[in-house]
A and B are shown apart, each in its own frame.
Chain A
Amino acid sequence: MTEVSKIGVVVAGSLGEGVKVRLNGTTSVEDIKVGSNVVIQGQENRFFGVVTDIALESSDPSLQFNLPDVSDRFIRDALSGTSAYGAITVEPMLTIGIDQYSDATGPMPSKTIPTHFSEVLEATEDDINSVFGSEADGGFWIGSPLDMEAKLCLDLDEMVKRSNGVFGKSGTGKTFLTRLLLIGILQSGKASNLIFDMHNEYGWKGTSESNYDVKGLKQLFGSKVSVFSMDSESAQRRGFIPDHVVSFGYSDITPEDIQLLRETLDLTSVAADAAYSLEAHFGPKRWFRAFIGMSGEATNELASEINVNSSALAALRRRLERLTRFDFVSNDNVEDSAEMILQRLNSGQHVVLEFGKHGNNPTAYMLVANILTRRIYDRYQRQKELAMGDKLAEPPNLVITIEEAHRFLSSSMSGQTIFGTIAREMRKYNVTLLVVDQRPSDIDEEVMSQIGTKVSCLLDSGRDVDSVLSGVSGNRKLRGVLARLESRQQALIFGHSVPMPVVVRTRDYGSAKSYSELGDVGGVNGDSSKALEDLFGPS
């Protein structure tokens, strides 16, 4: 057992406001950080809590007006911790029974608070393990609590049951976090991953902002991971050959996709809706090719024929022409990429879809993500329904990771896109989302409320904070915690896979040590000099 250090005693408080803890003389307020974990030894319960506020207090109300001579170190030393002392507010989150019998039930949400003068201790590694579980219990080590070395674990079983979210403004470590979560899911075998890798960071090499490469999933897990690409040139430039280059035919595009692209294509709703009329007129799968090949006159005629405003239809045709310019979209019949991805997923592989240069084009990203997801989801739905309750015949759990998720899940869009459906249906068909986003306030409220576990790094605006925390109890106190996260590699995690909200310093990713801890199986890179570099870290 490590030596426990006492920080103070409970002197006041309420269940609603949290308990007030007077720090003892040896603990400085500067040693305590908001969001860190403490344990309160009550009379009958052991409470596990979070520091939600830190204050300076004084037993002499006149102290602030009649300032003693604090330039005298002696006087300052005498006063600090006694007349002038630090206080923290602790939100008791969980109750751990003191006797071993009740311990067996595990931590329970606190329904009371500790008595006066209960001792408050720094949480130890054992405390963290007993609350959050350990790697030995099958938890996934995501990082460490504030100012602690202990490994804080997530309950992945709980995690894959629902859609989850990783939030944070740009540069706070969302991608690194997501990569860790993906690895966790991958290692646990509890689900397959499909990752829409907008910025080419997950499959093969990611870059860190300190400008060195970090390994992608393929490099770590080799054959368990397939990397599909939208842009083989880009893949080659980065020194690897993708498992498959994805392309679509005109027939793959549906009116629903057009709805999704309405904003990026700058279409009026009339124009976008016209796609449905076109589909009805020309028939599914054929409408796009037929419509795109029409001349201006023919379009006008068609307009009156299907009773659509002619200028709107003309606009629609002009905008859709943009899609034909994508090199992954062709008139010819192409290999069914969705089918290939499904096969890989069904065989237990994890699939990363790299967008290459198209990652910078929201239209391309959204179109592809939507087309593929719809196809895959259709198949899952069918497969699930066919299995009729036979677990073995069911499709494996699938986690779909999307960056910039608000593009698909905004309140105007989420009702229409497949992503909205998945988010709302939860895991009805064994498919869940891992949404990664920097602007959670743009995501539809209802979708946000369905997210099981939220991992939030520092956010840009109060609106974002509100949306992330909406519906969470103790919201006001968590706000303070969230607002004070460090700008990188720190996150507040709350929701189903943790028993209580907790701030973590995200586990390091990118060093040789981190790779070996993450179970690097050698990947596909045989280059020995590269392996050495991995071992000793980037130079």
Chain B
Amino acid sequence: MSTPSYEYPFRIGEVIESDTNEFTTQCYELYGAPSLGTLVKAGETEPVYGVVSYSHTSGLDPTRRPIARGEGLASEDLVYDENPQLNRLLTTNFKTTIVGFKFSSQITTYLPPRPPRIHSFVSQCENTEILTFAKSLDFMSSILGANLPQSDDVAAAFIRYACQALPEETELRVESAKRLASLLGNDTRRLEGILRRIPND
């Protein structure tokens, strides 16, 4: 048995749940979820874009709870080596907030008319795509407005991620921060909290 990810290195998983605002991807590999804030796309020719906002690893079968297995083992990895079935029984899913879509090779930074289909392939994005979203940041309001406990971290993580992916965009960090500031005009506290999560590296 081989996982498709060997043949298609940019493919991460498949959509298993999808609604107007977000879609959930099941990873081909256990713990294979992209970092928080990563831009991914679902679908092949006219993909829908999303920012990773939540990831979750648990047993495939909700009635089976993981138990402690490493008591006598020297390392965590050994737990998985000694219990190889875990890699099959546990699964990593991640949610992405939908931020845009591509239509006739034009990227649009607002919600698509419909979310991606179930089983759409989810893969990593190219730098040009990241740049488009990093420059617009239109979607930030929906992430910040989603009022998830992790909203602020997702916002910060996206900017970190974009700055890392696009080191040549030297102004990106400050430009993004300014966009955030105008979005959070009346909540400087919150803004400051987010900005603190975007260290200069």
Please indicate whether A and B come from the same complex rather than being unrelated chains.
yes
Q: Which positions in A face B, CB cutoff 8 Å?
A: 25, 59-63, 66, 68-69, 72, 74-75, 77-79, 81-83
Q: A82-B181, A83-B184 are in contact. List 15 more A-B contacts (CB 8 A).
A: A25-B178, A60-B185, A60-B186, A68-B191, A72-B195, A74-B177, A74-B195, A77-B178, A78-B178, A78-B180, A79-B191, A82-B178, A82-B179, A83-B182, A83-B185
A107–B158 alpha-carbon span in the complex (Å): 51
A78–B179 alpha-carbon span in the complex (Å): 8
Q: Is A82 in contact with B185, judged by CB distance below 8 angstroms?
A: yes
Q: Is B186 in contact with A61, judged by CB distance below 8 angstroms?
A: yes
Q: Which of A61, A62, A79 contacts B181 (CB 8 A)?
A: A79
Q: Closest Cβ of chain A: how far from B181's Cβ, in Å?
A: 3
Which residue of chain A is the closest to B183 with respect to CB atoms?
A82
Which residue of chain A is the closest to B188 with respect to CB atoms?
A60
A81–B188 alpha-carbon span in the complex (Å): 13
Which residue of chain B is the closest to A64 with respect to CB atoms?
B188
* Chain A, interface SS category: loop
Interface check B65, CB cutoff 8 A: no
Which residue of chain A is the closest to B181 with respect to CB atoms?
A82
Q: Which of B182, B185, B192 contacts A75 (CB 8 A)?
A: B192
Residues of B near A83 (CB, < 8 A) are: 181-182, 184-186, 188, 191
A178–B30 alpha-carbon span in the complex (Å): 86
Which residues of B, 157-201, contact A by the 8 Å Cβ criterion? 173-174, 177-182, 184-189, 191-192, 195-196, 198, 200
| Among A61, A75, A81: residue with most chain B CB under 10 A | A75
Given A25-B178, A83-B181, answer yes or no on A75-B195 (Cβ-Cβ < 8 Å). yes
Q: Is A63 in contact with B188, judged by CB distance below 8 angstroms?
A: yes
Q: Is B178 in contact with A81, judged by CB distance below 8 angstroms?
A: yes
Which residue of chain A is the closest to B192 with respect to CB atoms?
A68
Q: Closest Cβ of chain B: how far from A61's Cβ, in Å?
A: 7
A59–B181 alpha-carbon span in the complex (Å): 10
| Among A62, A77, A82: residue with most chain B CB under 10 A | A82
| Among B178, B179, B184, B187: residue with most chain A CB under 10 A | B178
Q: Is A78 in contact with B177, judged by CB distance below 8 angstroms?
A: yes
Q: Is B178 in contact with A68, judged by CB distance below 8 angstroms?
A: no
Which residue of chain A is the closest to B189 with respect to CB atoms?
A66
Q: Closest Cβ of chain A: how far from B197's Cβ, in Å?
A: 11
Q: Is B195 in contact with A78, judged by CB distance below 8 angstroms?
A: yes
Residues of A near B173 (CB, < 8 A) are: 74
Q: Which of A25, A59, A66, A74 contacts B186 (CB 8 A)?
A: A59
Q: Is B188 in contact with A74, judged by CB distance below 8 angstroms?
A: no
Q: Closest Cβ of chain B: how far from A60's Cβ, in Å?
A: 5
Q: Is B174 in contact with A79, judged by CB distance below 8 angstroms?
A: no
Residues of A near B185 (CB, < 8 A) are: 59-60, 82-83
Leading 4 A-B pairs by shortest Cβ distance: A59-B185, A78-B177, A82-B181, A82-B182
Q: Is A79 in contact with B182, judged by CB distance below 8 angstroms?
A: no
Q: Is A69 in contact with B182, judged by CB distance below 8 angstroms?
A: no
Q: Which of B179, B180, B182, B188 contacts A68 (CB 8 A)?
A: B188
Residues of A near B174 (CB, < 8 A) are: 74, 77-78
Which residue of chain A is the closest to B193 with respect to CB atoms?
A68
A496–B198 alpha-carbon span in the complex (Å): 58
A69–B188 alpha-carbon span in the complex (Å): 10
Given A59-B186, A66-B188, A66-B189, answer yes or no on A78-B200 (Cβ-Cβ < 8 Å). no
Residues of B near A77 (CB, < 8 A) are: 174, 177-178
Residues of A near B189 (CB, < 8 A) are: 62, 66, 68
Residues of A near B200 (CB, < 8 A) are: 74
A74–B181 alpha-carbon span in the complex (Å): 12
| Among A25, A69, A78, A83: residue with most chain B CB under 10 A | A78
Residues of A near B187 (CB, < 8 A) are: 60
A72–B196 alpha-carbon span in the complex (Å): 9
Residues of B near A66 (CB, < 8 A) are: 188-189
Residues of B near A74 (CB, < 8 A) are: 173-174, 177, 195, 198, 200
Q: Is A78 in contact with B181, judged by CB distance below 8 angstroms?
A: yes
16 of the cross-chain contacts (CB-CB < 8 Å) are: A59-B185, A62-B189, A68-B191, A68-B192, A69-B192, A74-B173, A74-B195, A74-B198, A75-B177, A77-B174, A78-B180, A79-B191, A82-B185, A83-B181, A83-B184, A83-B188
Residues of A near B195 (CB, < 8 A) are: 72, 74-75, 78
Q: Closest Cβ of chain B: how far from A24's Cβ, in Å?
A: 11
A486–B192 alpha-carbon span in the complex (Å): 39
A62–B177 alpha-carbon span in the complex (Å): 19
| Among A61, A66, A72, A77: residue with most chain B CB under 10 A | A77
Residues of B near A68 (CB, < 8 A) are: 188-189, 191-192
A241–B195 alpha-carbon span in the complex (Å): 76
Residues of B near A78 (CB, < 8 A) are: 174, 177-178, 180-181, 191, 195
Which residue of chain A is the closest to B190 with respect to CB atoms?
A60
Residues of A near B178 (CB, < 8 A) are: 25, 77-78, 81-82
Residues of B near A75 (CB, < 8 A) are: 177, 192, 195-196
Which residue of chain B is the closest to A79 with respect to CB atoms?
B181
A83–B186 alpha-carbon span in the complex (Å): 7
Residues of B near A59 (CB, < 8 A) are: 185-186
| Among B184, B185, B189: residue with most chain A CB under 10 A | B185
Q: Closest Cβ of chain A: how far from B159's Cβ, in Å?
A: 11
Q: Is A62 in contact with B188, judged by CB distance below 8 angstroms?
A: yes
Q: Closest Cβ of chain B: how far from A511's Cβ, in Å?
A: 42
A78–B182 alpha-carbon span in the complex (Å): 9
Residues of A near B191 (CB, < 8 A) are: 68, 78-79, 83
Residues of A near B188 (CB, < 8 A) are: 60, 62-63, 66, 68, 79, 83
